Copies of this chain bind each other. A is one copy, B any other.
């Protein structure tokens, strides 16, 4: 392909990829339309042939991230071992993903930046991940996609504790270096282990 030709090919895909790279390396603040365009070698206004706005570009990046989540749940469903073993594996993989892609992880879960409600395909991606985890747990027949706290406390708790641990790690609120894989696994084991066993034993010890 000639350097200065029009119709460069898959500019849309290139933009998303460049955006992901910038996000990972320099964070969300550096991810501007102009910057992404520059990186791809295109003029800023060209971006608007592929995305309606900056936010739509960000939504596309986030949606890309959810594909990774999907794969995690795939492995949960198809994996071997008893349920608690699978859950422990899920926990490790989940935190490893967050540790390796902190800025992407943040973007995926902050409606502050990308309003889910405005990007149905994104909301659906998030729903699917949670829904499949829930169905694995409660059986397909029992899932009604409302994600009610009362109806699915177990799935909700797994999601909450993993999300909380991931963010505390990413934000540096706990002494776990995201670049140290062993430490990340240790964190995963600690929280999912506690959740599986429950606090009752130590609490009654206290009483």
Contacts and interface: CB of A to CB of B under 8 A. Distances in A.
A42 interface: no
> How many copies of the shown chain assemble into the complex?
2
Contacts of A65: none
A203 to B, nearest CB: 5
Interface string A174-207: 1110000001001100110111111110110011
Given A82-B207, A83-B206, A200-B198, A187 B157 contact: no
Interface stretch (A11-19, A31-39, A67-75, A158-166): A158-166
Interface of A is mostly: helix
B196 A154 contact: no
Contacts of A202: 137, 154
Given A117-B172, A195-B199, A197-B198, A190 B159 contact: no
Interface stretch (A1-9, A47-55, A105-113): A105-113
Contact of A153 (B82, B150, B175, B193): B193
Contact of A195 (B106, B161, B187, B190): B161
A174 B156 contact: yes
26 contacts: A28-B112, A83-B203, A84-B200, A84-B207, A87-B199, A109-B167, A109-B173, A111-B171, A116-B171, A116-B172, A147-B174, A149-B175, A149-B183, A150-B186, A153-B191, A153-B193, A154-B199, A156-B174, A158-B199, A160-B168, A161-B164, A163-B167, A163-B168, A164-B167, A196-B200, A198-B199
User: When A and B form their complex, which 7 residue pairs have the shortest distance between CB atoms, in order from nearest?
Assistant: A198-B198, A164-B164, A160-B164, A163-B164, A157-B194, A160-B165, A153-B190
